[in-house]
Structures are given as structure tokens and as C-alpha cells.
A and B are shown apart, each in its own frame.
Chain A
């Protein structure tokens, strides 16, 4: 059994994503437009946060799959072509 180096796939996730997505600034005015626009901006930030979550998972999952495939390839018996 070979000793494997510790995987650090999470290091491929951009550091800026670790701080989270900020909320938009609270509406300065008291008009209906100000508050509705604020709600829209907040949903935009939600889209951004959801996108980052799924992208971060995709980065780590793809990296782990490549690592696992590399180890499988080395440990494959010589008599098995796949």
C-alpha cells in the first residue's frame, strides 16, 4: 500500500470566494423604487452566491475525480487493460 500525499483540492477555490457574497447597501431613500431596486439587488447577490457554491463544489469534485483516476491508473493490475 503506497502512502499518498494529502489532497488539497480546496486550494483551487479562489480565496475571494471564502469571504462570502456581501449584501447590497441598504436603500438610502424611502421611495418604492429604492426598496424594490434593493430587493432586486439582493436577489442578484443570491444568484452570485449560489453560483459560487456550485462552482466551488465543481472545482473540488473534478479535482478529486482526477486524483482518484490517477491513483487507480497506477494501481491497476498489468493484466487488466482498463
Chain B
């Protein structure tokens, strides 16, 4: 215990109080500079990573646009096939025996009224005509 106090006293006497103040100031400045350097390095790392991610996302978006193009091409082909099947089915239905058989107007009228209640068909000209108030 006495040895430790002696050592502390010897160290204290190495410099004058002003000298110790200068040492303390220098230590503080070094610590401040080290902190600034660490922050700058961290900011640089973040900026570098953000730039890398941006570049990666740009490349990913280019590839995704290519994927989307292929899917759109497939959708166009499917739409064309649906149009083609529509035509063939309509021909087959209209040329089948009984296709020209007239339905009871009450049924077709009820059918039109029912269809016109649907959102998808509400705007059909036949629906607008159907629900138009008749002049007296």
C-alpha cells in the first residue's frame, strides 16, 4: 500500500501541474480525433454498402423486367388462344342442332336483368337501355 502511494507520488512529481494539464489536453484531442476518424470510416463503409446495394438492385430490376417481359409474352399468347377458342366454341355452339331455338322472352328478360345487376355488365348498352325509364 505504501509502495503504491510512493509510486503515485513519484509519477505526480514528474511533471508540473501545467505539464499534466497539457498531457490531459493532448489525450483529449487524440481521443476526439480517434472518434472522428472512426465515425468517418463508418460513414464511408455505409456509403459504400449503400452504393453496392443500389447497383445490385439496379441489376436485379433489369433481370426482373426481363422476367416480366417473358410473363407478358406468355399472357399475350394465352389471350390469343382464348380469343381463338372463343371463336371456335361460338361456331360449334351456333351450328349445333337446337341452337336457333327461341327462348321464352320472360326467361331472357329475367336473364338480362340479373346480368345487369353485376358490376362487370352494368355498363353494357343493353343494361342502360333496360333500366332507362320508359316515356309515358
Q: Which residues of A contact B (CB under 8 A)?
A: 1-5, 9, 12-14, 20, 22-23, 25-28, 30-33, 35-37, 40-41, 44, 47-48, 51-52, 55, 58-59, 62-63, 66-67, 69-71, 73-75
Task: For A36, give its contact among B82, B99, B124 (CB under 8 Å).
Answer: B99
Tell whether, in the assembled complex, residue A62 and residue B115 are in contact, meaning their CB atoms are under 8 Å apart: no
Once A and B bind, how many residue pairs between them come within 8 Å at the CB atom? 125
- Residues in B whose Cβ lies below 8 Å from that of A27: 108
Query: B37 interface residue, CB < 8 Å from A?
Result: no
| Proximity string of chain B (29-65) to chain A, C-beta cutoff 8 Å, 1 when within and 0 when not | 0000000000000000010011011101101110111
Which DSSP category, helix, strand, loop or mixed, fits chain B's interface? Answer: helix
CA distance A4 to B90 in the complex (A): 53
Query: B100 interface residue, CB < 8 Å from A?
Result: yes
A36, closest chain B residue (CB): B93
Task: For A26, give its contact among B46, B59, B65, B121 (CB under 8 Å).
Answer: B121
CA distance A47 to B99 in the complex (A): 24
- Residues in B whose Cβ lies below 8 Å from that of A70: 53, 56-57, 59-60
Query: B112 interface residue, CB < 8 Å from A?
Result: yes
Tell whether, in the assembled complex, residue A40 and residue B82 are in contact, meaning their CB atoms are under 8 Å apart: no
B90, closest chain A residue (CB): A37
Tell whether, in the assembled complex, residue B102 and residue A30 are in contact, meaning their CB atoms are under 8 Å apart: yes
A39, closest chain B residue (CB): B93
Say whether, besides A4-B57, A33-B94, A35-B108, A75 and B103 are in contact (CB < 8 Å): no
